Chains A and B, each alone.
Chain A
């Protein structure tokens, strides 16, 4: 009997060791690199990070991307999930189509949309063929920073909506048929049913989708680099450049720690804000 009570812990051990070595140790090490130099504790690396010319731009764009992309994705994914849930013929086939971008890397998505937004890309070619423009527009340049921003939004929106869709479809499948039937008996149909019955019941799935997507949107990096280069700097990209180009793990760690703090703060906000809403609904 003794072995059987210990068995689960033995099975967990490899994972626990891995988490210790590859999550906890880097976490402490990153904090150490960010706050400790040759002469002990220092804020010099954070000062260096903040005084960098691109820092505030990176902070600004990271947040702008997250607050633009995440709501777009949730709305699109919700539309996809509700459409699929309406149970038309062939919904399974479309489910797989909608899920396709799940397998596409952020870098690859950036390159795909580069073929659309580049100077002589598909978008300019189509607009020219339609007679809307007669010279190509530079979407990806410092002169058109708003277009550049929207190009990255388009690529990220396209790539990562699938994951939200899958989470929401899974959530819809878990909603008991009894609730839906009761709602119909009581006269809730169409939009009313969606708004007053389905959405409140879908709240846990929406919450996890929001948390996951926000955290990853804050880390947007390869899509930005592939499409915009350094036109719209982001925090994860700065961490990459400080480590890879300038060979300064201290400042790179300062960026990484900042990203972690923002991620935790955003998660806390979601958990707090969305939970209080669900409790209101339950009452």
Chain B
């Protein structure tokens, strides 16, 4: 019996370790590539571990025309996006979590359906519209379409977050003399804050990673992914590796910070189907 148990545990750990290595090794490899001296990247045969680690590739990437600017643009767009998304989506999430009203289920279904829209279907016509509105090639324009893409997630996530805040607490605050808004601001909001922060980071990552719409809606004011993809055919390998490495850094950091909330988000998303 204990022999079978031991065998089972060994098999489980071997399978889990294999899968973990499959996830981690590519991330490690891009890290190695980004810190390999430039000329060694083009050697054949190339050693897997470089002779020494160097900042040359990263320096070349950051010094390349347009990179720092596009990096700053990416940060600005992502911050605008998370502001817009929470401002628009969180009230809706609160409404769905707290009230039973006519059309509630229809609204939730509608939100799920918007997730099925191909990005191309939003970005191509909006490029035409944005030219007319003066939003083409602006960071606000990109942030608006990123908000549209992040909004369904934000509504679903914030619904889950506010459902996790007991309604009784707010009602108790109201019987003790708080107004409806006061009860929300003093009781529900502080309790929901960590969850909302996680939702904000998730939104940041959605925007930071988005490439199709950002590339189509900009010419000079490109975000980092848009800059990389529009110059990809002409840029050397070391530039591309450094770019890939740079793109995943904040994303991995944020995902690590919000790891506890991942299941709130996706658990909530699936509970509705």
Contact = CB atoms under 8 A, between A and B. Distances in A.
B263 A136 contact: no
B7 interface: no
Interface string B233-273: 10001001101100110011011100100110011011101
Contacts of B237: 114-115, 118
A179 interface: no
Interface of A is mostly: helix
A108 B244 contact: yes
B212 A125 contact: no
A149 interface: no
A29 B126 CA distance: 8
Contacts of A229: 233
A267 B87 CA distance: 31
Interface string A87-117: 0100100101111111111111011111110
Contacts of B176: none
Interface residues of A, number: 98
B-side interface size class: 35 or more
A249 B101 contact: no
A276 B123 CA distance: 36
Interface in B98-144: 98-99, 101, 104, 107, 110-111, 114-129, 144
B248 A94 contact: no
Interface string A26-47: 1101101100000000000000
Contacts, number: 281
A107 B95 contact: no
Contact of A260 (B27, B121, B208): B121
A53 B235 CA distance: 27
B48 A107 contact: no
B145 interface: yes
A256 B244 CA distance: 27
A226 B16 contact: no
Contacts of B205: 103
Contact of A106 (B91, B124, B209, B262): B209
Interface stretch (A66-74, A180-188, A193-201, A237-245): A237-245
Contacts of A129: 45, 48
A257 B120 CA distance: 9
B30 interface: yes
Contacts of A166: 262-263, 266
Interface in B28-77: 29-30, 33, 41-48
Given A107-B225, A253-B125, A125 B23 contact: no
A176 interface: no
B195 to A, nearest CB: 16
Interface of B: 9, 12-13, 15-16, 19-20, 22-24, 26-27, 29-30, 33, 41-48, 87-89, 91-92, 94-95, 98-99, 101, 104, 107, 110-111, 114-129, 144-145, 147-148, 151, 155, 180, 205, 208-212, 215-216, 225, 228-230, 232-233, 237, 240-241, 243-244, 247-248, 251-252, 254-256, 259, 262-263, 266-267, 269-271, 273
19 contacts: A7-B99, A33-B128, A88-B12, A96-B259, A98-B23, A99-B262, A107-B209, A111-B240, A111-B247, A114-B241, A115-B29, A120-B42, A122-B29, A171-B270, A215-B118, A221-B211, A225-B232, A229-B233, A244-B230
Cβ-closest 10 pairs across A and B: A111-B244, A105-B209, A103-B255, A22-B148, A29-B125, A103-B251, A170-B267, A11-B95, A256-B120, A15-B92
